[in-house]
Amino acid sequence: MLLISYIYRFILLINRNFRCWRFIILAMMIYFIINLYILLKQTRLNSKSIFGNKYLRQQSLQDKKKNENIQNIRKRSSSSLCICENNNKKTLQSHSPISPEARLRYSFIDIDDLDVDINYLDEEYRPSQQLNILPPSPDSHPYTRILNVKGDTSVIIYNRLPQCYEHTMGLFLQDISYLHSYTYISSQIYVPFSYNKSALVSIARSLNKHKFKQLIYERHIYFFDYYALQFPNHPVWINLVRDPMYRIAAEYKHSREICRKTNRCFVQQDAINETLDECVIKRSPKECISSDNGIARMLPFFCGLKYSIECQEENNWALKQAKQNIDFFYTVVGIAEEFYKFLYVLEKLLPQYFKLARILFMNQHDPKILADKRDINVRLPNKNTTKILMPFLKYEYDLYNYIKKRFLDQYNMLLELDN
């Protein structure tokens, strides 16, 4: 309307008098200002519908009170959990109550958080007959696949590795899921990482028939191939890794702390007070970084559960399988050392989940630190220990470097497309 009347007046004015140009410029400026005002109002209304009045007030104060804002976001993130819980409670009533027997039988599933229908899980699973999506053959992964979103975006599975910026990531996922109003579930099931085929089918079904609009499901679990379980679809997989020496140092310390403070002990009792440096002198280095000593390996997280026994080995076959799974099934595997770039890649590849990720993240933290303190205060073992351990981490570093290169390639390609 405005535009039409403006053009009409414009033509009239030109016909009457050329000196009216000044008027025209003025009208143009007013027109743009009005439009800008309307646009701003609309975006404000949108954000209002998500956050309510309280957030709007907070937002207008944002520039002045950046420090206070960190606390506000923290508060919101804790309230986001409440929203999830309320939703779950509401919908729980829609299913018949879950018997204690069923709870026990499906103890490896987040029944309440995912709001699972047990009757559906109990139904016999009939593998899909329409497996028209053939997994890509090993010889044919063109470089461009690197920027594809691999899978159905209604579920993202983040099969979190221990001690790879998990606190930073957890806080961030809470806030970003709240910002875009989707569901983020961090599983409370910590072990095991490995399941048999029938359990995996149930886990996959519980994630397939969820009622959420969008879902990020985070859990310490080895990768599993939906196609191998004969599901016609595949979720989006993401992950975040970290330099193996840092990860192992952090995990060594953390698993001992957990053991001392809680009942969850994955550490030999007599080794509970040892530092990693002391351990490699007293015991065999291999033992110090084994699962008996509370250290998980990165390789099986990607090698996966299709060949669960072979994937526990550290050899070239397992390494190749892990790389292949990453190429075929992982939309992005970031590295903690480049967390900000990780957010950028997420933003570009999965905008429906991660739009504004970097801005949110920068607002969340003290700009000088940019990560949760618990994730960055890692004391590395001394030089001797490092030297002793390095040969035992050969496959870990090989995979880590492979992930790093792929990730930086992704980042650089996206950056180029952006410019």
Point out which residues bind ligand NAG (CB under 6 A).
Answer: 108, 195-196, 198-199, 269-270, 272-273, 382, 384
Please say which residue, 277 or 338, places its beta carbon nearer to ligand NAG.
277
Rounded to a whole number of angstroms, the minimum distance from the CB of residue 183 to ligand NAG is: 25
Rounded to a whole number of angstroms, the minimum distance from the CB of residue 106 to ligand NAG is: 9
Residue recorded with tokens 């595949």 = 234
403: Cβ contacts below 8 Å, ≥ 6 apart: 241, 326, 333, 335
Rounded to a whole number of angstroms, the minimum distance from the CB of residue 199 to ligand NAG is: 4
Please say which residue, 109 or 393, places its beta carbon nearer to ligand NAG.
109
Taken in order 252, 193, 176, 407, the sign of the CA dihedral is positive
The two structure tokens encoding residue 233: 């679809």
Please say which residue, 272 or 414, places its beta carbon nearer to ligand NAG.
272
CA distance 254 to 165: 13
Q: Is 364 helix (H, G, I), strand (E, B) or coil?
A: helix
Please say which residue, 281 or 369, places its beta carbon nearer to ligand NAG.
281
Please say which residue, 129 or 273, places its beta carbon nearer to ligand NAG.
273
340 with 358: CB under 8 angstroms?
yes
CA distance 298 to 325: 13
Residue 419's Cα: distance from chain center in Å? 26
Rounded to a whole number of angstroms, the minimum distance from the CB of residue 345 to ligand NAG is: 34
155: Cβ contacts below 8 Å, ≥ 6 apart: 207, 208, 210, 214, 215, 216, 217, 235, 236
Residue recorded with tokens 């996922």 = 173
Rounded to a whole number of angstroms, the minimum distance from the CB of residue 107 to ligand NAG is: 8
The two structure tokens encoding residue 70: 């960190």
Rounded to a whole number of angstroms, the minimum distance from the CB of residue 388 to ligand NAG is: 10
